[in-house]
Structure formats: C-alpha cells, structure tokens
C-alpha cells in the first residue's frame, strides 16, 4: 500500500502544481488568510475528509482515520504570504498588489493537500490516524502555531512532522538535524533622541546619526567579544532610519534588528548586554532613547528518533539523491511550538531552481516545483516508518 501511495503522488503532480500556482496568484497576509483557509476547507469537503475551520484563528485541521489500527500522526503546512511585491515574469505571478508567496507556503499547502488526497484513496488500508494541520500566520509573531497548540489539536497526537521547501538546498537533497535545527528568532527596535540643527552648525546639535552609528558598532561587539565563542548567536541590524534632507542634522534615529539564539540563558545575556550598551552609549552622548525587545519563536529542536526516521524515509525516495544531517540554521520557524508539545521533526526539502539565484523573501523568489513530490513522498514514508515502529 505504501508503495502505491507514493506512486499516487506522481500521478497527482500536475494537480499539485495547479494548486500551488493558484495559491501563488492569490496570497494573503498573516492573520488575514480567510480566502486561503476557505480554499483549503473546500478541498477537504470535496475529498470527504472531516475538518475543522477557524482553529486558533484561521487554521484548518483535517483528520483522516485509517481502516487499520495504528498511532496518530500530525503533518503540518503553513499558508500565509508576505508583504512583498511579486517581480517574477511568470504566468502565475501574484495578482494581489504588494503581497506574494515569497517563502514557499503555497507549495507547502499544495504538498499537504496532495498527500491527503493520496492517503484518502487508500484509507481502508491506512493504519492509524493522520491529522493534517494547515497553519496560518507563520511569518508574523506571535504566529499561528502557538494558538493551534493551545486549541488542543495536539493533545492526542503521537508525533508531528513538517517540512520547509528550501531554496538554499539543491533539488534532490533532504536535510534535518537530530537536535537544534532552527534558531529562536527575536526582534528589537531602538529610537535615539538627539538634537537636530543645520549641517553648517554641528556644534549646536546632538547628532542622532553619529550616536546611532556608534551604537551599531558597539552592538556588534556583543557576539564577537561578550559571547562564548563555542556558543551560537547572531545579532544583526536590519534598518537604520534618520534624517530628511542633506543639510540638516537629524534629531532622531531608529534602528531595528534581530537576535538569533538557541540557549535561553544566552538570549537573556544578550538582552542585558544590549541594554547596558544602549544606555551607556546614549548617556555618553547625552541623548535619550527607547529600547523595545520582542522575544519571538523558540528554537526548533527536533527529537532524535523522529529526525532519524525522516532521514531514513527520505533515503527511500528514488528522487532523493542525498538525505543528510546538517548543522542548525539561524533562521526561525514557529514549528518549534509543536515540538515543545510532542515528539517530532522538521526538515528541509531542497527546492533550488536551476539558474534561479533569488533567496527566500526576495521579490523574485520561486521554487523548483518537483521538490513538492519529494516532500510529499518523504512525509508519506515518515508516516509509514513511524507506524511500523514497535
């Protein structure tokens, strides 16, 4: 039955591509995905698979009960888009101005819907129960995963798995880690209040740009000089905004950025170091400031046994050339909340499109659509191996 299931994915490939391209044309922002959620619910209605809507927000949960005894496994896909203008020259370009699927969530959804359809065709032979989690709002904290977990969806789950189609990884490669896999992702903002004035009379001002520049330099020394070199951390400045014209010294500057860690103690250390440096720098320049720090998603920490199952499952897919263990990525994902609740694993499915150099969250982002087949087959094989465990 399992071999027939994976073969069914091949026969459903064109349909899977059509779903992905339709969703790509009609993206919706985080917490606003009402039409996408309705599309997903309508698909399960057509398949005759029981489902719930508005779970934890816009989440859709479908449940397929197999005809044979077994454990309960959850598979997750996200479905929100990003506030980015689609600049690709393709027929399936986003039709929604300023919004696009620039991270592959459309393909995640198409993959999971196709897995559900294939499994429904073999429901009588399927062991256990499969719960299909279609999650809203992965891209914007507080995210959709936590509210879905809080709704109780995972209470009777034995394990949970998910994948991210990953354009940094070549097509034909599947990657995961038996421990930390993706970092906790935080964000911060700093506003400096100086004193503006004419550029010809700097001595009468308190230049927010000079203060901000010094602050950026000082903050970069936290990881390089205050964090144990054997620990892992990132502090990156993403924006620096100040001033309105060439000959006026700015009175305010706003700096935003992100901190990525795996260890909560290190996370708290960095927050304290930032507070000390910001206060010290601004005080030395006699400038005021505000500092806002928002803790985001926890790190994605896989469970070793389930991560090993994923690699074994991927290695049994003919199209997978390499199923490998990798070092953690400093990117973040709210799949972490599922793994804090239940055993499971998250993995990358290589989706690098030949000749296409644009990364995730780029206006010209796109994927190798055949990667959806590898993702679907790896998920199916993972369920198989989990059900076969003693």
Supply φ then ψ for residue 236, to 5 degrees: -125, 135
Please check whether residue 324 is in contact with residue 155, taking contact to mean a CB–CB distance below 8 angstroms. Answer: no
pLDDT at 390: 65
Q: Which single residue is written with the structure tokens 């990798």?
A: 326
Question: What fold does the segment set 2-180+299-388 form as a domain?
Answer: Aminopeptidase (3.40.630)
CA dihedral 166, 169, 173, 177 (to 10 degrees): -80
Instruction: Please list, in sequence order, all residues whose beta carbon lies within 8 angstroms of the beta carbon of residue 197, skipping any fewer than 6 positions away.
Output: 204, 205, 248, 249
Catalytic-residue membership of 316: no
Residue among 28, 86, 138, 369 flagged as catalytic? 138
Instruction: Tell me how far apart the alpha carbons of residues 387 and 385 are, in angstroms, rounded to a whole number.
Output: 5
Bridge partners (DSSP) listed for residue 237: 257
Whether the bond into 341 is cis, omega within 30 of 0: no
Listing DSSP states for 314-344 in one string gives HHTSTT-SEEEE-PPBS---TTHHHHHHS-E
Domain residue extents for the chain: 2-180+299-388, 184-297
Of the candidates 371, 384, 372, 308, the one whose C-alpha atom is nearest the C-alpha of residue 5 is 384
Sites in the chain below the pLDDT cut of 50: none
CB 186 within 8 A of CB 236: no
Residue written as token pair 């960095």: 270
Residue 356, number of CB atoms within 10 A of its CB: 16
Q: Which of 293, 205, 219 is nearest to 252 (CA)?
A: 205
138 is catalytic: yes
From the candidates 33, 80, 158, 368, give the one annotated as an active-site residue.
80
- The set of residues, in sequence order, having a beta carbon less than 8 Å from that of 366 and lying 6+ positions away, is 88, 90, 353, 356, 358
* Residue 4 vs residues 10, 16, 220, 380: alpha-carbon distances, Å: 10, 17, 54, 11
- Classify domain 184-297 by CATH number: 3.30.70.360
Q: CB atoms < 10 A from the CB of 197, how many?
A: 17
């Amino acid at each position: 039955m399992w071999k027939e299931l994976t073969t069914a994915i091949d026969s459903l490939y064109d349909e899977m591509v059509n779903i992905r391209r339709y969703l790509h044309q009609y993206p919706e922002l985080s917490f606003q995905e009402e039409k996408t959620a309705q599309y997903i619910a309508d698909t399960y209605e057509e398949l005759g698979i029981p489902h719930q809507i508005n779970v934890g927000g816009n989440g859709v949960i479908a449940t397929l009960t197999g005809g044979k005894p077994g454990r309960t496994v959850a598979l997750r896909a996200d479905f929100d888009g990003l506030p980015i203008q689609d600049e690709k020259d393709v027929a399936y370009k986003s039709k929604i101005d300023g919004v696009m699927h620039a991270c592959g969530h459309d393909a995640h959804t198409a993959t999971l819907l196709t897995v559900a359809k294939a499994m429904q065709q073999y429901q009588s032979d399927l062991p256990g129960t499969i719960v299909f989690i279609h999650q809203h709002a992965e891209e914007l904290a507080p995210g959709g995963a936590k509210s879905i977990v809080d709704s109780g969806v995972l209470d009777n789950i034995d394990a949970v798995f998910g994948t991210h189609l990953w354009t940094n990884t070549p097509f034909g490669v599947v990657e995961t880690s038996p421990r930390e896999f993706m970092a906790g992702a935080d964000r911060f903002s700093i506003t400096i209040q100086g004193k503006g004035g004419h550029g010809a009379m700097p001595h009468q001002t308190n230049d927010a740009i000079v203060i901000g520049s010094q602050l950026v330099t000082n903050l970069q020394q936290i990881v390089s000089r205050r964090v144990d070199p054997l620990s892992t951390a990132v502090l990156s400045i993403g924006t620096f905004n100040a001033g309105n014209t060439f000959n006026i010294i700015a009175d305010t500057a706003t700096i935003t950025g992100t901190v990525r860690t795996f260890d909560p103690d290190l996370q708290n250390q960095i927050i304290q170091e930032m507070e000390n440096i910001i206060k010290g720098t601004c005080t030395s320049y006699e400038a005021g400031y505000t500092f806002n720090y928002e803790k985001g998603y926890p790190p994605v920490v896989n469970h070793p046994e389930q991560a090993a199952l994923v690699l074994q499952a991927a290695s049994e897919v003919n199209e997978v050339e390499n199923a490998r263990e990798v070092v953690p990525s400093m990117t973040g994902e709210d799949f972490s909340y599922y793994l804090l609740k239940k055993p499971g694993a998250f993995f990358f499915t290589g989706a690098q499109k030949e000749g296409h150099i644009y990364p995730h969250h780029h206006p010209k982002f796109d994927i190798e659509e055949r990667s959806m087949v590898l993702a679907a087959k790896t998920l199916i094989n993972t369920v198989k191996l989990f059900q076969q465990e003693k």
